Structure 1
Amino acid sequence: MRTLSRWGLVVGTLGFVASLTPSLIPRTVPMQGLLSGLCLAAGYGVGVALRALWVYLELPMRKRIDTPRAQRTFFGVLAFVVFLALLRAPHWQNLVRRAMQQPDVEGGAVLGIAAIAALVFVLVLIAARLFMVLMRKLSRRMERRVPPRVARAFGLVGALVLVALIANGVVFRTALHMLDASFREADARIAPDTAPPTAPESTGSAASLVAWDALGSAGRGFVASAPTAARIARFTSQPTMTPLRVYAGLPAADTAQARAQLALRELERVGGFSRAALIILTPTGSGWIDPAAIDSVEYLYRGNVASVAVQYSYFSSPLSLLIEPDNGEETARALFRAVYGHWRALPKDRRPKLYLHGLSLGAFNSARSADTFEMLGDPVDGALWSGPPFASRQWRALTDARNPGTPEWLPEFRDGAFVRFRNQHGTPVPAGTPWGPMRVVFLQYASDAITFFDQRDAFREPAWMDTPRGPDVSPGMRWYPLVTSMQLALDMMLSDSAPMGYGHVYAPSHYVDAWLDVTGLDDWSPAEVDTLKRVLDAQRRASLAKDEGSG
């Protein structure tokens, strides 16, 4: 303890305390301990850097008092501050839970949080001190040839380059190969209770151009879970159909263009262009398509709809964006051009309505798949993009250009004729406002850190924290330099664990409202719509609970 920086411990303690305060998503004890340990380490590093800058500028500094009594007083004050913050931590987390209509949780295993945070801090401190040893060794070698300050600068740069080369060449590549093999094996695995479809109009059947084992795990689940005409008929007295779902997995062909052309031929084979609506789906990184999104529109169209998707990665969305940043856009663009080109050549009075959809990274790549100038003469009918990630250029441009006085978490864009934003409580655009020829809807929750994270939040308060706040954002959340950005980074990891209707878990009932906006369908009565929402939400909750239990 005597070797630790007093400046570092003071700033680190402030970071630890701030890390316990509310953010967007409730945290488990291990996640809170990890976050608090990293914030403690980051604050410690900032304190050490500030002291080093103070010394470098040769500013006056009081002599450090190292008597046993002074040490006890210093560490006692810090321990007391940490103790009070840990006692307050359960209350702060319950503020987040209340914003999501969740019951309070008593206690918070504060000793577990403190233990995990201490372990994380020690590990980070050891790594940092090993880095400093390496930097000093390199600096001493350079001091024989250049002045000491220049040698220290060369030592720092050299240590950074050496660590980066080792991490990239050994650690990162080894981890990448292991992850690739793991995800590829998981994608190829077929659940024992999932048999290939027998209906010839189903992708993966004996008549299909895409083999069952070439769909991938996500593709097989997507095709097999389509609702039947009989299930849809329970909600309406009008005629129903079994919706068509077309999917091409990574094993189906060698290139994105070949998979897109294969999906197009399969879509033609099953009669997708003869349906009332056709949806080009862009999946998430692993090929997953949110059932809440596709089920809702299939029910609204009473099954008279076809959808098509092509897989572009085995990895989860964050890994796919990091490792294969161009694959998603390339695949989404290839599929759009293939389908749009065929659709555009059809007579306007005999072709389906054409829509785009994607969730998260799927929304990101779907928005990049269509060239606006390419569609000026014959645009698609609309797009529904849910949970657009913060890196989405189109979403960011529209949000930044919002009408003055409208909040960032639910903006209004001009007259609402081209694009509208929705959340759990609807859209700020007044009912009856006319649409233009193309309808674009962004479905987003204010508590979704995947949408609202921004690297600049480390140094400035984000606009979505202004008053009024989103209904699912705790009023107890405060902005702290550096700490808030670390909280939001963890919130992105936890967004999929939020209750349905919050975070990154989008509810079927909210999709129903969004699809009604995009499609303009008006042949459902309000009572029928309410019943559909209630049943689809119940089914999705049961499915999420089953997945959580099996996981």
Structure 2
Amino acid sequence: MTPLKQYNTTGLLLGTLFFAASLTPTLLPRGELVQGIITGLSLSAGYLLGFALHRLWLWLELPVLSGRSRLVSQWVAAGLFGLIAISFLWQATEWQNQVRSLMGMEEDARIRSLWIGLIAIPLFLLLKTASYWLRRAFMLIPHWSLRLVPRRISYLGGILVAFILFWLVIDGIVFAYLLRTVDRSYQQVDALIEPTTEQPTDPSLTGSAESLLAWDSLGRQGRRFVINGLEAEALAPFSDQYQAPVRVYAGLNSAATHAERAQLALQELLRVDAFERSVLALITPTGTGWIDPAAMHTLEALFHGDVASVAVQYSYLSSPLALMTESEYGAEQARATFEVIYGHWRSLPVTERPALYLHGLSLGALNSDRSFDLFDIIDDPFHGALWSGPPFRTDTWRTATHRRDRGSPAWLPRFRAGQVIRFGNQDGGWDDFEQPWGSFRIGILQYASDPITLFDPSVLYREPDWMQGERAFDVSPELRWIPVVTFLQLGADMATGASPRGYGHDYSGADYLDAWYALTEPEGWTDESYAALRAYFAERY
């Protein structure tokens, strides 16, 4: 029996097109392993879609090839597969180097074509085999139930069981349970690991002997955050009045519940007189609990260290993993923390309380956005928020992007003349407005090459707005939307993509500085002194 008879011709042809399309560039450069997996998944998706179309053709009782004609068509399909695959594999390195060049990276001269094929083809064969046995397994359900119920009810029951299992996975129930189980495991492991950094002796630092938060309860990211503020010597060329900033962090192991962790953070802020500083930053960390040093160092430098910042951890998991499987992950802790901190802040006299700003990166931006309700703060709003790389599920980002002013691109929208919400990127964009920025301000720092922000499940079947019209300077002109394939490519960019500072999801210190400067308007900086400070952060981060 000819091996080709085991494969569907329509599936092979459509799978070949998906295979080839997966090699075209998207937002971030990819290595052989990731590209091979994407290509294998694309080939499998194309084959499955082609197989389904062929089945539909047969169900409609339309004419089909048979005998020798069918065999010839299979060999033609195999030949086309080979020619198209080789042609696109040959160009894969050039396309990846084009993306690397846009981001100022060195070209990768390696021949990746062979490795991509060696990963993609076995993955396709594995998935095809798995789908065969999965289909056989589902067929057993009506086979067993035929002994008890009529045939039609038996087949209907099998379909319903398959649908319910599929929905449990897609709806996030299974993934959410697994996420929380893994998260609790990491939390327990973190509690057992001895800190690798020494406990601070300064009583004003969180985690010291005098602190309300135990040093070993802060977690790895929390310990790094509280001790890694910029030293006065580093900023001596820019400020002769720099003071040590206040940093408070409550880890997952600091208390048992969201409310208890939030209350501990507030009490620690009161202990170190944080509300007497000029600025108070309420930070929602990323899924792992990490806070980008560039984000806080730049704000602290602009105000000569007269800044207090506070964060409460809610997870140990990476942001892309939590984002794709559990949309509400971390929102409960963000809300509890905001309610406690904001509640105390608004109880203070207006003339004596610090300027309050929210901040979050990635999943932290999403949960920061969900931490407050506009109707709860409208009579006494805080000063604003800076969200960097907000994920596609961020409500404020989605609203402003979808309702952007006519003529502005989706990768850098303008919303209602910038009176409340403004977007910025590597080229600034914060002050390019005729109307003044209002007293309540939301700044969104995003790059056009950031897949965390620009990915959306609808790209599976619809071309996104940011691919239409003028392209940003850091996005390849060769990028094209292909149904299903682009979804897989952007998903891989989001989960595994890496880029240099200032591109993708890695935000530079200079861009953070510009964003904070426009948002907070600190006093005392001349054009010359600000330019020198910006050059310092551009080199450091």
TM class by shorter chain equals over 0.9
Encode CA deviations 1:485-517: one digit per residue, 9 max, x unaligned: 11111111134x211111110001000000011
The equivalent position to 1:359 in structure 2, one of 358, 361, 366, is 361
- Residue 522 of structure 2 corresponds to residue 518 of structure 1: no
- Residue 31 of structure 2 corresponds to residue 28 of structure 1: yes
1:310/1:335 contact within 8 Å kept: yes
The equivalent position to 2:387 in structure 1, one of 373, 379, 385, is 385
- Residue 244 of structure 2 corresponds to residue 242 of structure 1: yes
Could you tell me which residue of structure 2 aligns to residue 544 of structure 1?
none
- Residue 318 of structure 2 corresponds to residue 312 of structure 1: no
Query: Higher mean Cα deviation, 281-290 or 152-161?
Result: 152-161
- Residue 536 of structure 2 corresponds to residue 535 of structure 1: yes
User: How big is the shift at 1:165?
Assistant: 8.0
1:180/1:315 contact within 8 Å kept: no
Could you tell me which residue of structure 2 aligns to residue 491 of structure 1?
493
Could you tell me which residue of structure 2 aligns to residue 41 of structure 1?
44
Distance 1:65 1:188 in 2: 69
Distance 2:377 2:532 in 1: 37
Secondary structure at the residue paired with 1:384? strand
Letter in 1 for 2:410: E
Secondary structure at the residue paired with 1:65? helix
1:381/1:437 contact within 8 Å kept: yes
Could you tell me which residue of structure 2 aligns to residue 181 of structure 1?
185
Could you tell me which residue of structure 2 aligns to residue 138 of structure 1?
141
Q: 1:391 to 1:531 in 2, by over 3 A?
A: same
Encode CA deviations 1:90-124: one digit per residue, 9 max, x unaligned: 11112222222223222442111000001211111
Could you tell me which residue of structure 2 aligns to residue 440 of structure 1?
442
Letter in 2 for 1:404: R
2:23/2:35 contact within 8 Å kept: yes
What 5-or-longer segments of structure 1 have no aligned partner? 541-551
- Residue 132 of structure 2 corresponds to residue 129 of structure 1: yes
Secondary structure at the residue paired with 2:359? strand
Secondary structure at the residue paired with 2:280? strand
Distance 1:444 1:174 in 2: 31
Distance 1:493 1:184 in 2: 25
The equivalent position to 1:226 in structure 2, one of 225, 229, 236, is 229
Distance 2:257 2:141 in 1: 47
Letter in 2 for 1:282: T
Could you tell me which residue of structure 2 aligns to residue 371 of structure 1?
373
What 5-or-longer segments of structure 2 have no aligned partner? none
User: How big is the shift at 1:68?
Assistant: 7.1
- Normalising by structure 1, report the TM-score: 0.91
Q: 1:221 to 1:468 in 2, by over 3 A?
A: same
Letter in 2 for 1:399: T
Secondary structure at the residue paired with 1:22? coil
Distance 1:381 1:389 in 2: 22
Q: 1:46 to 1:448 in 2, by over 3 A?
A: same
Equivalent residues, number: 536
2:430/2:518 contact within 8 Å kept: no
Secondary structure at the residue paired with 2:235? helix
Could you tell me which residue of structure 2 aligns to residue 501 of structure 1?
502
Secondary structure at the residue paired with 1:424? coil
- Residue 7 of structure 2 corresponds to residue 4 of structure 1: yes
The equivalent position to 1:287 in structure 2, one of 286, 289, 295, is 289
- Normalising by structure 2, report the TM-score: 0.93
Q: 1:108 to 1:462 in 2, by over 3 A?
A: farther
Distance 1:225 1:531 in 2: 22
Paired residues for 1:206-355 under 5 Å: 206-236=209-239, 238-321=240-323, 325-326=327-328, 328-355=330-357
1:256/1:330 contact within 8 Å kept: yes
RMSD (Å), alpha carbons: 2.5
The equivalent position to 2:423 in structure 1, one of 421, 424, 429, is 421
1:12/1:42 contact within 8 Å kept: yes
Secondary structure at the residue paired with 1:415? helix
Distance 1:38 1:526 in 2: 52
Encode CA deviations 1:368-394: one digit per residue, 9 max, x unaligned: 112212222221111100111001111
Letter in 2 for 1:210: L
Q: 1:390 to 1:169 in 2, by over 3 A?
A: closer
Distance 1:166 1:324 in 2: 11
